[in-house]
Structure 1
Amino acid sequence: MKKIYLLITLFSMAQVDCNAQLLTPNSSVFTGAFYGDCVAADFNSDGIKEIIVSGALPGYDGHTALYVNQNGTYVPNTATAFTQIMYSAIGTGDINNDGHLDFAITGTRTDTNEQVFEIYYGNGDNTFTKATVDNIQATIYGAIEIVDFDKDGDMDILVNGMLDSGDKISTIYLQNGTTGTFTASPTALSGTYFSAVKVFDANADGWPDIMITGYTNAYVPETKFYLNQGNGQFAGHSSGLGNVYFSSIDTADINGDGHPDVLLSGMSDSFEPTLTVYLNNGSAHFTPTGASFMGTYYGSSRFVDYDNDGDLDILTLGSNADGDNKALFYRNNGAGEFTLDTENANLLTAVTMSRALVFDYDNDGDTDLFLMGYKENDVASATLYTNNSVQNCTPTYQYNADSNMITNMSFGSINNPSPFQSGTTPTYEDFSSISATVTKGQTYPIAVKGPSSSFPSDVMVYIDFNGNGNLNDAGEGFYIGQLAPANPANANTVTANITIPSTATNGTVKMRIIKNTNVAALSNPNAPNTITDPCDTTLRAGQTEDYTLTIENSTVCNQEPGQAIGDVGCVTFTYQGQTVTYATVRGADRNIWLQQNLGSPAVATSSTDANAFGDLFQWGRWDDGHQLRTATTATSPANNNPTGIGAGNANYFTSSPAWWNSNQLTDT
């Protein structure tokens, strides 16, 4: 990935109207809580995540509940009687190594007003078996991390927070096998509360490191970093990270250099709220970007691609310097520049003493949000927000597809004839199981065939080049032309060329073909295109087809053919702004020839192949325009065309004394 640098326009001047409200509250009803924690995890291994919420209710009663997803709506699951806890922290992991996720929780149980630490072992069916671990100290206002710190094959537990005595701890408890027996590690870590803890490999040595923030026993904000020494023991490390409490930590590679960076928020040691992005140099040395954000504390900050454009944005919750509740989005433009997105932030409930989860609860390819915390006036909130950035839509037509269907589509390696029968042909056909691999920078012809009963038909192609699930981003729609009226037996074909941008996202993306009748075009050939959107609901008559493309990087190859006639090589070059890689061959004239002309998408296999148009282009020959000739398929080569490809095989003819027709060595 390319390296980008983070910049931001001051939020007071950089409010952006995204022209798209991406989030809507889900209808699920959760019990609101604050001063607590929440997790999303797949406890029953069905590919859908459950949510655990724990914390204080208004009136300061404890609360712990499991919510399960039933057809997109979360409902409470009361199969296990959980201890009702507030001031809680939760960690998840397969503690007993049985293949099912477990969770550990600590905090104050309000029925006895005592601090507890409990492990709930998952049974794989959203039920749990509770176990108490006497030698793990219970805390409040802290954090739990479940990680195999010493890489001995079992999960260990880090517990942070304030003890019942008022002392603050951060202790690693090493598990002995998978027996549920734990021993405190002798490693001394900074004890904090009103804290956040993050475990990640900061220096790329394959071992988990530890970052701890919070208020210390000396009542000062602190951020400490500890590097794993390769044996589960840790040493303090000067990281360059600022001191905070009432804090939140998130990590991600924000600038694309392969190193996890840090998003840190909280109250600083100057007692001002802060929100800072720190870049990691790969050795766990962090440098603030200098970007200016509104600081928050008592909340939660996350890297999240909420607009699904492939780069990470920022969500922050909590209180600002005036003590007001805030929920803010900072949108990344892809170059590391952030603007405040008020339109989508205003859709969120601003909460303090809060937690945020970012995950795809409905498995539709975008990131949804779950926010919990304290609103105001003794009201707590917990809300799931559905992200609508991925389009799961089907265009709709006024009439059916009779005599206006798509009967063939070819693009790249796809050549898909689709059957047509009046009265039974659907207006939408899902051919997403049919795919083609395309290369960045390459140009591919597309051909769409189909009848058009009484009126011409417009044809649009949409390709999700940036892979964000939307087909209506800039540069993703192509009007490839208009089909003249014809019955199914004499259906016409419209053709065009589509270039895969060099900036396209690698991977699997959707391709959509839309055909729609254009009544006005019958009397006015210049009538405007009638297809306005990949999810158009105002179409008249026609058909929509979906396919799949796999986008790959172009291959760089520079190898000169040998001196023997017929030896092959390859060359990568840029022509008219597009990078291509072609095979080359040593011709009978001893010159080097490209495998195909620059206007064709593939090597011709015979003189009648549709890809045989134009001249084969001699590497180093002047640009005379012939290499771009787009003549229709001919039964024999035209003047100044080379002998070309042998019929029935893919070998170059090399027996002629020269490649040019009539033995000419120049193209004049």
Structure 2
Amino acid sequence: MLFKSIFLLALLTASGQAAEKQTLTYALSQSIENIGGNDVALADVDNDKDLDIVVANGLWNRALPSKVFRNEGLGKFDIHPQLIGKAKSNSVSVADIDGNGQPDILFANGDWNNGDNSRIWWNDGLGNYRENLKFSESSNASSAALGDINGDGLLDVIMANHPYSDNAGGDDLIWINKGNRVFEKSDQVLGEPVAARRVKIIDANNDNHLDAIVLNGNAKNRLWINNGKGILSKLYADLGQGENIDFALGDINSDANPDIVIAKGAWGKQPKGIEIWLNGGNGKFIKSQAIGQNDCYGVVISDLNNDFLPDVIAVNSKDQPNQIFFNAGQGKFVDSAVDIGMGGNKVTVGDVNQDNLQDIIIVDEQNVKIYLQVDTAHLLL
């Protein structure tokens, strides 16, 4: 009898856990027309205690204004956005760059033939962006990341650049923050030109100095290790082959080391889906899993189901379903089959309606889509 009771309790517990994951539901609350969305970020730009949406826009053959969509409360966004600049903006980062307590915006701008100047747009304290810093050197920037590279307490910039159509240019560059809204190009050039897709800054080897990872398209990815004085030394990171288009960083196996999730298969190339690379603690990564068969363009990590394990959200080609992969522990993931629409260029996650649940924002070439997580636990009460 005792054995049966224990077995029944275990069965009910397992069923409850499975049901909890199955009840994770997202509803498309708003779809806002926006042409040429390449990247997206969330930040409270106007200090009203809710998250606003910042979108980097641009088509391959046309410069477009990027946009800020203000949150009017409860995750409802103003359909008349603030327009910022006009460029082929490929990535966006939001942070307080000048140290005045207001979130500024960094757009990485590029042009296949002629290059462009990336820009930082300064927040005036009311969420307006009228003044900007133009980086002095034109390039075909595919991505930019912010971090204190030289340990002086100021956010520096690493710019990942793609070669031009004639294969000229393409060096990845470091811009040092000198304070007072001034940046100076470092003498350090991060390697020979390759097709850089994405750059992120993180302490990869746990030495308390920020390193850089540059993801390249169909080429070796690069891990740049910081010597503690802002000088980066190149390591070729063994992070697989294929068309690498985006990646996300986070501790997915709970060992206090930042791991990597890579989006694969853009433009129909092999391999497809996402790859999970676990950090051994010294900046060396081991592939633990490849999952999914879609052409993936954007990926982000966040704990969606409140089990204290970060999950993965992937957005795919326009004719393919986007995916949520639940973390099953030990760095292994399973496809949740949760519906979050079809297709996207990039994705971000945050609580936009202040219900303590993680919502999903997806941008593609035509729309900004806001998916709110439905609190099914309370709906069932």
> Same fold judged by TM-score > 0.5?
yes
Q: Counterpart of 2:277 in 1: which secondary structure?
A: strand
2:366 matches 1:385 = no
1:155 maps to what in 2? Answer: 155
What is the CA-CA distance between 1:214 and the residue it aligns to? 1.6
The partner residue of 1:331 within 326, 331, 343 is: 326
Q: Counterpart of 1:325 in 2: which secondary structure?
A: coil
In 2, Cα distance between equivalents of 1:332 and 1:372:
24
2:220 maps to what in 1? Answer: 222
Alignment TM-score, normalising by the size of structure 2: 0.83
- State the Cα deviation string for residues 446-476 of structure 1 (Å, max 9, x = none): xxxxxxxxxxxxxxxxxxxxxxxxxxxxxxx
1:367 maps to what in 2? Answer: 358
Letter aligned with residue 326 of structure 2 = R
Structure 1 regions of 5+ residues with no counterpart?
Answer: 1-14, 375-379, 394-532, 536-668
Report matched runs for 1:93-492 at 5 Å: 93-107=95-109, 115-140=116-141, 142-162=142-162, 166=167, 167-189=169-191, 191-193=193-195, 195-215=197-217, 220-267=218-265, 271-289=270-288, 291-297=289-295, 299-319=297-317, 324-334=319-329, 336-342=331-337, 344=338, 347-352=339-344, 354-374=345-365, 380-389=366-375, 391=377
- State the Cα deviation string for residues 223-245 of structure 1 (Å, max 9, x = none): 11111110111111254322443
Letter aligned with residue 369 of structure 2 = T
What is the CA-CA distance between 1:272 and the residue it aligns to? 2.6
The partner residue of 1:90 within 84, 87, 92 is: 92
In 1, Cα distance between equivalents of 2:81 and 2:36:
21
Letter aligned with residue 276 of structure 1 = E
- State the Cα deviation string for residues 146-187 of structure 1 (Å, max 9, x = none): 211101122211111236564322111112233423223424
In 2, Cα distance between equivalents of 1:192 and 1:124:
39
Larger Rg: 1
In 1, Cα distance between equivalents of 2:34 and 2:243:
24
Distance verdict in 2 for CA 1:16–1:332, change over 3 Å: farther
Report matched runs for 1:635-650 at 5 Å: none
What is the CA-CA distance between 1:78 and the residue it aligns to? 4.9
For the aligned residues, what is the CA RMSD?
3.1
In 2, Cα distance between equivalents of 1:58 and 1:153:
36
- 2:38·2:56 contact (CA, 8 Å) conserved in 1? yes
Distance verdict in 2 for CA 1:176–1:390, change over 3 Å: farther
What is the CA-CA distance between 1:249 and the residue it aligns to? 1.0
Letter aligned with residue 277 of structure 1 = I
- 2:50·2:73 contact (CA, 8 Å) conserved in 1? no
Matched residue count: 358
Distance verdict in 2 for CA 1:238–1:186, change over 3 Å: closer
- 1:222·1:245 contact (CA, 8 Å) conserved in 2? no
In 1, Cα distance between equivalents of 2:20 and 2:320:
22
- 1:32·1:57 contact (CA, 8 Å) conserved in 2? no
Distance verdict in 2 for CA 1:267–1:22, change over 3 Å: closer
Larger proportion of helix:
2
Q: Counterpart of 1:363 in 2: which secondary structure?
A: coil
Distance verdict in 2 for CA 1:203–1:31, change over 3 Å: same
Percent identity between matched residues is 16
What is the CA-CA distance between 1:109 and the residue it aligns to? 8.5
In 2, Cα distance between equivalents of 1:390 and 1:148:
41
2:57 maps to what in 1? Answer: 55
Distance verdict in 2 for CA 1:179–1:196, change over 3 Å: closer
Report matched runs for 1:525-540 at 5 Å: 535=381
- 1:244·1:266 contact (CA, 8 Å) conserved in 2? yes
- 1:261·1:279 contact (CA, 8 Å) conserved in 2? yes
1:65 maps to what in 2? Answer: 67
Could you say which structure has the greater relative contact order, defined with CA pairs below 8 angstroms and 6 or more residues apart? 2
In 1, Cα distance between equivalents of 2:210 and 2:295:
26
- State the Cα deviation string for residues 88-137 of structure 1 (Å, max 9, x = none): 22222222221211112132589xx8623222111121112322425243
Letter aligned with residue 86 of structure 2 = Q
